[in-house]
Amino acid sequence: MEYCAKNQLLDKLPKELLSYVQEKSELCKPDHIYVCDGSEEENKMLLAAMEKNGEIRKSKKHKNCWLATTDPRDVARVESRTIICTKNQHDVVSTPKSGFRPIVDPNMPNIKQTALGNWMDTDEMILILNERFNGCMKGRTMFVIPYMMGPFNCPYSKIGVELTDSPYVVCSMRIMTRMGERVLNELNKVESPNFIKCLHSVGVPLPAQEPIINNWPCNPAKTIITHFPERNEIITFGSGYGGNSLCGKKCFALRIGSILAKKEGWLAEHMLIMGVTNPKGEKKYFCAAFPSACGKTNLAMLQNRDIIPGYKIECVGDDIAWMRFDEEGRLRAINPEFGFFGVAPGTSQSTNPIALEMIKEDTIFTNVAETSNGDVYWEGLENDVDLNNVTITSWKNQPWQKGSKEPAAHPNSRFCTYASRCSIIDPNWESPEGVPIEAIIFGGRRPTGVPLVYEVFDWDHGVFVGATMRSESTAAAEFTNKQIMNDPFAMRPFLAYNFGQYLSHWLSIGQKPGLKLPKMFHVNWFLKDPITNQFLWPGFGENIRIIDWIFRRLNNENCAIKSPIGYLPEKGSINLTNLKNININQLFHIQKDFWLKECKSIREYFVENVNDDLPKEMWTQLDLLENRIQQIPAIEREKCA
């Protein structure tokens, strides 16, 4: 028996769940079924079994830390194989003006692929999935993971149950969600409980037909991540990588979540949530939507280090926000997650000391490198690890030296640890009523043209700024070359219903009378000097200077001037004390040609991808922006920053 088959919890499954388990186990044919209780003992048992199989290694240095290295074909989310299935295509994607994209898999000719997500007919997809799942768990154990997104006593939390044949998924779900017997207890409190059904398989029944690379079973040729909002179901096959396999995170909390949010009048967004206390002791909460691998974790854990004495940051969440207006008209946010699944490269003592400290215990690392003295290693740790006295083994299990052609760690290597391990976790991070949000910040990686920070004019303009976000692609998904891609609201990979309707929802939610609407901003930490290719802004802790400006704007300080794209900081209004060699003009230059081109690409993007579904307010905003840029007075920008 591969894993101890402790089945007594089977008796505790509500009948709806039991019949789901029965139905799927008949299809997948696992050798065992195991209901997870979420205990420490169970976690230890699973980790030990995985260590024995060689699926993970124990860190020689850090307590209860584990290293997994994947099959190199299974390292990130696969957007082209992420599909939303419904009866009607239009509920999910508009028909692009110039037609659908070429299909990725000739065996699935009827997927409709677009720049804003992929759709397929439910019944047709079920046939494809039944073929893949038939017998897919032979020789393995089917784990049943009852889990909750959101705090236990919160009325807005939601329950899912994931069936998976991956113990790596079980141990990761234990970190990322509240899971186990206490969720079964919640399910049993009501007559016919609601839960999102999730089925996951690595897609490698045993004995395996092909060698299992790095002891990481996966099936890249058949990988498919599917969502059935009309059936409250998620079915994902072939990948063990977190973003594809931990159903609570992207599949539920963002994709299915945003559909529930639309129906029920709230928002499920790809946003960090942070508490900011200013030197006077006033506290406000901000959230921020940056695309994958564009700085959410880092901003949520920003360390001020007396750059502006008196400021303090506390972290509520680093990836997902569920938000709704309360009875007093304030926008309140909860973090539905229980842990952090963060990008490892770039995390260092100088950039994110809080995260570095947090991952010293109870952490699962995936695709990082290892030092000869048992520490973890990745790009960015050059100054924290004495490279003269240790040797490094890369994530591909090869000897690695400074200057090697390939990186030591995969660029999308990740750490996975409990939120409670974060030393600056906010005291209200599990508060059932959520924290009141006063600022919404959009941002992305824009090497040119987009200034360090600006404030939007009003709610509709804010929705427009979110809708027109663009960012350089990163290693978080399968795109290999750096290209500027549209990533509206940082949700492109996570949109699960028609983007036009998504925008209408955002517009309408801000229109109810009596709301205390948050102010909205756009930031860009990633401007580069075109000649040296170096970042123009030091970023990380230094971003407190921008957080400070935003905080003061929330207090209506008169420190902004109107520009064609929004309010820019007035000259001298960003605190630059002790910061040397900053070219502030370059950081705030609004170039007419750049912005006219930007308008042109936005228009093309809207026409091609959203067209008749785009709310009229967005066309109006685009016309207004274009007109303001046409009239750009050359002297205006001199007054700012």
Ligand X SMILES: Nc1nc2c(ncn2[C@@H]2O[C@H](COP(=O)(O)OP(=O)(O)OP(=O)(O)O)[C@@H](O)[C@H]2O)c(=O)[nH]1
242 touches ligand OAA by CB under 6 A: yes
294 makes contact, choosing from ligand X, ligand OAA, Mn ion, none, with CB < 5 to 8 Å by partner type, with ligand X
# chain residues binding ligand OAA, by CB under 6 A: 8
Do 522 and 443 touch, CB atoms closer than 8 A? yes
Say if CB 288 and CB 442 are below 8 A apart: yes
Closest residue (Cβ) to ligand X?
Answer: 346
| H-assigned helices in 456-591 | 459-467, 499-509, 544-554, 584-588
Applying CB under 6 A, which of residues 146, 243, 295, 346 lies at the interface with ligand OAA?
A: 243
Instruction: Kindly state the number of chain residues that form the binding site for Mn ion, as judged by CB under 5 A.
Output: 2
What mask, x for binding ligand OAA by CB under 6 A, covers residues 308 to 327?
-----------x--------
**Nearest distance from residue 580's CB to ligand X, in Å?**
17
Q: In this complex, which beta carbon is closest to ligand X, that of residue 225 or of residue 343?
A: 343
Instruction: Identify residues 306-345 at the interface with Mn ion (CB under 5 A).
Output: 319
Is 238 a residue that touches ligand OAA (CB under 6 A)? no
> Cα dist. 504→265, 509, 609 in Å?
12, 8, 16
The answer to the question of residue 250 lying near ligand OAA (CB under 6 A) is: yes
542: contact with Mn ion by CB under 5 A: no
Residue found by looking up tokens 């009875």 in the block: 327
* Alpha helices in 279-393, H assignment, sequence order: 296-300, 353-358
Angle at 385 between CA 383 and CA 390, to 5 degrees: 140
Q: What is the DSSP string of 347-378?
A: --TTT-HHHHHHTTSSEEEES-EEETTS-EE-
In the complex with Mn ion, the residue whose CB is nearer, 319 or 598, is 319
Amino acid letter at 595? W
Q: Give the chain's count of helices (H) and strands (E).
A: 15, 32
Q: Residue 242: which of ligand OAA, ligand X, Mn ion, none does it interact with, CB under 5 to 8 A by kind?
A: ligand OAA
Interface segment toward ligand OAA; rule CB under 6 A; list 65-73, 152-160, 242-250, 533-541: 242-250
Query: Which is it for the CA torsion 480, 481, 482, 487, positive or negative?
Result: negative
What's the closest the beta carbon of residue 340 comes to ligand OAA, in angstroms? 9
Site residues for ligand OAA, window 468-507 (CB under 6 A)?
Answer: 476
- Nearest distance from C-beta of residue 343 to ligand X, angstroms: 3
Q: Confirm whether 294 is a catalytic residue.
A: yes
227 binding partner (options ligand OAA, Mn ion, ligand X, none; Cβ < 5 to 8 Å by kind): none
Q: Could you tell which of ligand X, ligand OAA, Mn ion, none binds residue 485, using a CB distance below 5 to 8 A set by kind?
A: none
Residue 243's binding partner among ligand OAA, ligand X, Mn ion, none (Cβ under 5 to 8 angstroms by kind) is: ligand OAA
**If DSSP codes are grouped into helix, strand and coil, which group holds residue 33?**
strand
Q: What distance in Å separates the CA atoms of residue 543 and residue 519, rounded to the nearest whole number?
A: 18
Q: Which of 136, 218, 294, 416 is catalytic?
A: 294
Cα–Cα distance, 612 to 620 (Å, whole number): 14
Tell me phi and psi for residue 138, to 5 degrees.
-55, 135
| Alpha carbons 300 and 286: distance in angstroms, whole number | 9
Binding flag, residue 79, Mn ion (CB under 5 A): no
Q: List interacting residues with ligand X (CB under 6 A).
A: 290, 292-298, 318-319, 342-343, 345-346, 351, 476, 525-526, 535, 539-540, 543
What whole-number distance in Å separates Cα of residue 88 and Cα of residue 625?
A: 34
Q: Are 521 and 454 in contact (CB under 8 A)?
A: yes
Residues that bind ligand OAA (CB under 6 A): 77, 242-243, 250, 292, 319, 341, 476
For the annotated catalytic residues, the residue numbers are: 294
Residues that bind Mn ion (CB under 5 A): 292, 319
